[in-house]
Amino acid sequence: MDFIFNRQIIGGIVPALLTVSILVEICFAQNVPAYFVFGDSLVDPGNNNYIVTLAKANYIPNGIDFGMPTGRFTNGRTVVDIIGNFSPGQELGFKDYVPPYLAPTTAGAVMLQGVNYASGGGGILNETGKIFGGRLNLDAQIDNFANSRQDIISSIGAPEALTLFGKAFFFVTIGSNDFLDNYLIPVISAVKQKLVTPNVFVGAMISRYRLQLMRLYNLGARKIIVANVGRIGCVPYQRDINLFTGDACVSFSNQLDQLFNAELKSLITDLSTNLQGSKFVYADAYSIVEDIQKNYISYEEFEPCLRSKENFMFYLTGFENANSACCYLVGRFEGLTPCGSLSKVCSDRSKYVFWDPFHPTEATIMFSLQGISWMVTPMTYTHEHWATCSIVIKA
């Protein structure tokens, strides 16, 4: 089914989004043959289903609005699911979601439209996420892409494969677990925090990230979108384990985010300048999430101007809860336990910003995409550029 939306500008979100300039030449069409995804549980489509790990989401009530649990850590689709289905002129409108690398069916011609390597619990640093057992950190994900790359070269030949990689989009969103499941782990990380300053820890992350992004470039990636880290100090889990903050977000955690994001932005600028033929884009997820959390009641702009005969629930009114998890069991902000079979679920997921202690609802993701300037060049677009752009969403 198709819905057409005119891009509408929402108050405070505009300045951040205008500098994001992310993702796909949807409004100013060029063909995108494939879409390769790297990251953590925000974009894991089910890779963790195939490894021994505590970080799994392939059970109810996860996926309640997707139709079934798939391993996605949300009630419905992830951001890369939705982006992959944007389809004006079929620039990115893939019929199917980008498949998980570890799925047995992800082989042969299927890989020619892209692969998702993301893994819940994964991080930039290889020690991140050890508390979960198995997980694929970014180095391992890039190793897996190198394997896919060789398979694709063997299938269609090196010249055609390199052309495909050069035109494809590479989306990377990772880093929050390096804080949540490494530097900020309660009790376990107390010694690390005393011995390693935030500046040193973030410096180690950025140094490793530089090598990883350069490796992607050397493997043929040219259009690389890198999202920064969102406001981890405002997720229900952080609020529940830091009771002294009261109703406020955890400032120290958000300060870590901001320190990392500033260094990441400089890194992306440097790589874009010095890697010939590259188009790196910095996606400011932090500012987008901040605006949603601060102005959540006013998010009432999403109204389809074309409906198909099929039924499709969309988000026509503002959020009602920006602090607590929709899938919950224990905690003041319902953030002390993962979403699981014993959890209760809010009746209207479209009214909640958070699905579980860490992850957004599909409604939040949809609103975060509204108004974004879909260009794969680090440009700043004016209000007039946005006003003329429409999106068709395939669902």
Q: Which residues are catalytic?
A: 41, 356, 359
55 touches 121 (CB < 8 A): yes
Phi then psi for residue 78, to 5 deg, are: -90, 170
Q: Which amino acid, 111?
A: M
Tokens 């932090």 appear where?
Answer: 286
Strands (E), 115-219: 169-173
Q: Which amino acid, 326?
A: C
Q: Which two tokens stand for residue 264?
A: 């990441």
Residues 6+ apart with CB under 8 A from 68: none
373 touches 19 (CB < 8 A): no
Cα separation of the two ends of the chain: 6
Q: Which two tokens stand for residue 147?
A: 């394997």
111 touches 148 (CB < 8 A): yes
Instruction: Tell me, rounded to whole angstroms, the distance of Cα 327 from its chain centroid.
Output: 20
Helical (H) or strand (E) element with 321:
strand 321-325
